[in-house]
Amino acid sequence: MRKMLQEHVQNTKNTLTYILSFFFSFLFGNIHLPFLLLFLFFLQALLSALQDVSLVFHCASPAPGSDDRKLFERVNVVGTRTVIQACIEAGVQKLVLTSSASVVYEGTDIKNGKEDLPYAKKPIDYYTQTKIEQEKLVLGACNKQKGFLTVAIRPHGIFGPRDPQLVPILVDTARRGKMKFIIGNGANLVDFTYVENVVHGHILAAEHLRPDSPICGKAYHITNDEPIPFWDFMSEVLVGLGYAAPRFHLPYRLVYGLALLLWLLSVLLRPFFAFKPTFTPMRVALAGTFHYYSCQRAKEHLGYKPVVSLKEGIARTVQSYPHLKSGA
């Protein structure tokens, strides 16, 4: 996503743009300094980088699948406070945050969810918990009087060519013979969003972020606007790469209960040895519940419309992984 954003803004006239992405996330999460020193170190580094910059895209975050609470706190919360302070001190005018639609998800069904849903009181994981804090920080920092405008983009289920997360993990699971089962009845609709549509949403947000705009200090769902059964999406990717689609059904409640039991066991055993279950309650919930979101607000305020269809996005994604095909 960072690369696509860079390509879009390189030719933008009269706008200097800074994109915070994986490099910031890696540094902030892996340099071990006392909190105050870490904060001051990156504040000064960002202040230097943001001189004469008018627009910042804050895309940095560890991978959602990580179970490292401290890493999420350092990057998504502490790091974001640093970004906000640096933007204000450097005179940056606009800050566009890559948030997540999961900030309202608690592991139960969401159908056509709108942005006015409350934040999750029981977030499903550390990633979601810190993304909630991050979004509150960014939207709360919006100040029209002082000329600092913010907006949050909430994508869901991002996928695309050469992404190191979804497809490689899916293929690895299939190669180990663990993609034979469907959790639940397989009818649960979910939003997946092709990366180019996510970038398109960010660009529209940046273009519409003005003092007289209704988008200031607000969040916007950005998806492909084509909810699809979760297991149909997984099957299309797997079959496209030459693997068998899952076909045996397992009761959702049974699998969720077992996942919860294993997770509790891993917590109890953590002081003695590392035990990390493959299926966590969070992963089971994501695979077995409805979670798709309305893009109506983005359509009305940003003029958003997906630029790449789900079918085309899946085809492009599958074609980008020749080395992951069955038998390769």
More confident residue, 5 or 208: 208
- Phi, psi at residue 220, to the nearest 5°? -135, 125
pLDDT digits (tens, 9 = 90+) for 50-87: 888 899 999 888 888 777 888 899 889 988 999 999 99
CATH (residue range 2-324): 3.40.50.720
Classified as helix, coil or strand, 38 is: helix
Among the listed residues 18, 126, 127, 256, the single catalytic one is: 127
Tokens coding 19? 């994109």
Signed CA dihedral, 243, 248, 253, 256: sign only: negative
Tokens coding 233? 């999406």
Of the listed ranges 45-54, 72-81, 113-122, 144-153, the one predicted with least confidence? 45-54
> Does the annotation mark 127 as catalytic?
yes
Classified as helix, coil or strand, 248 is: strand
What's the rounded Cα separation, in Å, for the pair 215 and 226? 24
Contact present, 209 and 96 (Cβ < 8 Å): yes
- Helix pair angle (310-319, 230-240), 10° resolution: 40
Tokens coding 285? 């919930």
Dmax (CA) for the chain in angstroms is: 60
What's the rounded Cα separation, in Å, for the pair 304 and 57? 18
Tokens coding 242? 């030459």
What's the rounded Cα separation, in Å, for the pair 1 and 61? 12
DSSP H helices, the chain, are 2-9, 22-30, 35-49, 69-72, 79-90, 126-140, 166-175, 195-208, 230-240, 252-269, 281-288, 296-302, 310-319
Q: What's the start-to-end Cα distance of the chain, in Å?
A: 27
pLDDT digits (tens, 9 = 90+) for 218-260: 999 999 999 999 999 999 999 999 999 999 999 999 999 999 9
pLDDT digits (tens, 9 = 90+) for 273-296: 777 777 788 899 999 999 999 999
pLDDT of 191 > 70? The answer is yes
Task: Give the global pTM.
Answer: 0.89
| Beta strands at 55-58 and 110-113: parallel, antiparallel or unpaired | unpaired
Q: What is the pLDDT of residue 33?
A: 42
